[in-house]
Amino acid sequence: MNDKELLPWLEKMLTGDEAAFRVVYQATHTDVHRTIAFLVYNKQDIEDIANETYTRMWRSFHTYDQNRPFRSWLHGITVRQVQDWKRKAWRRIRLFERNRLMHDEQFDWTDSEVIKSETQLELLGVVRTLSYKLRVVVILRYFHDYALDEISELLQIPLGTVKSRHHLALKALRKHCELTGGDSYVHRQTTTR
């Protein structure tokens, strides 16, 4: 569904029309969920952030400029909710809970190792080890296809910062490719031929 088709539903949604909201949800949930799931790995956290993102969507709808793509406005909200959540989580929780969370994150990490070995997504594994700041740039650039200046606007950080984070992320990814270059070459040969 494009913006023009979505807009009437969005406006109806604001009047408390639940059926209209369901249409909006169906049109957007895959994108919202995928974006969050690339940035945060804990299932419960993903659920919380998705809920916050939608709440923000209808509460801040008046700030949406209808001359611009709805999709990128929603991406802006989504990444800001992820960031807010990360900041709040580390401020509020007690030390032992932090430890538990770190443990969880490790647990999820082994989970992603499984995915990685199953599907041979080698770069994805490296993307997951990148710091959040680098990772979010990679996801917006290579998954959502934003230009670097659009990313700068979306994340509300200077273009130079986006460029350097993008550069650092690619450097880390390339380094990984060089290190395992031999192996993956052999591997690709066996799978493709």
The answer to whether 25 touches 51, Cβ cutoff 8 Å, is no
Phi-psi region of 145 (alpha: psi -120 to 50; beta: other; left: phi over 0): left
In the list 7, 27, 101, 123, the residue contacting another protein (rule: CB under 8 A) is 123
Give yes or no for residue 43 binding another protein (CB under 8 A). Answer: yes
Query: Tokens 């969050």 correspond to what residue?
Result: 36
The encoded tokens of residue 173 equal 């990814």
- Tell which positions 48-107 bind another protein, by CB under 8 A: 50-51, 54-55, 58-59, 88, 91-92
Residue 67, number of CB atoms within 10 A of its CB: 6
Give yes or no for residue 139 binding another protein (CB under 8 A). Answer: yes
List the Cα angle 141/143/144 in 5-degree steps.
70
Least separation in angstroms between residue 88's CB and another protein is 7
Give yes or no for residue 174 binding another protein (CB under 8 A). Answer: yes
Give yes or no for residue 187 binding another protein (CB under 8 A). Answer: no
Alpha-carbon span 134 to 127, nearest angstrom: 9
Query: Which residues contact another protein (rule: CB under 8 A)?
Result: 16, 18, 21-22, 25, 29-30, 33-34, 37-38, 43, 46-47, 50-51, 54-55, 58-59, 88, 91-92, 115, 119, 121-124, 127, 138-139, 142-143, 170, 173-174, 177
